[in-house]
Amino acid sequence: MSCVNCKVEVFSSALQVLALRKPKRSPSFFKVLIGDFDNKLRIPPAFVKYVLKGNVPTMFTLYSDSGNSWRVRVMVEEGSYFFNSGWSKFVKHHDLEIGDFLVFFLVDTSTFDVLIYNGTACPKNIILAAKKRKCLPPLANRQIEDTPSQKCASVSKKPKAVYRGIAFSFHFM
């Protein structure tokens, strides 16, 4: 014979555990880099409307796993919002290429944490960190600037991979 009160207690305990384990999620969006992304990148209109509620700051700070941050100006063009001035420095520093996948997590009203993945579906900064490790100052000495505080002159630049025939399929429910 089963106890109804026992089942309720077990169910209640399970819900409490699930509530504790549920991670807090920041609002986010992703971009697959295709086309001309070197000088500007469009912020998704739905993100502007539903998350930022139309209150888009003129500047965002972008943080990446490289340990640096970038101030990127926002421009409005035909009713759409774009990362613009400062974006090309972010692109060059991270050696962004067609097919790279970026996830932007909103930290506060004017700050994003950016995760970058390459064509291998692995974080791109794993590779960049290995190449640039000797050129970055200790974490305590880093500061927010328009451009990274250290440049790595000893890293040889390999040719960018050429992606042909990439097909992306996204299903939204």
* 3-state SS class at 93: helix
Q: Which of 30-39, 110-119, 139-148 has the lowest mean pLDDT?
A: 139-148
Mean pLDDT of 112-129: 82
Q: Using CA atoms in the order 81, 87, 90, 92, what is the torsion angle rounded to 10 degrees? A: 130
C-alpha span between 18 and 100 (Å, rounded): 34
Q: What percent of the chain has pLDDT over 70?
A: 58
State yes or no: pLDDT of 8 exceeds 50: no
C-alpha span between 29 and 112 (Å, rounded): 10
CATH class of domain segment(s) 25-135: mainly beta
pTM (two decimals): 0.63
Domain boundaries, the chain: 25-135
State yes or no: pLDDT of 46 exceeds 90: yes
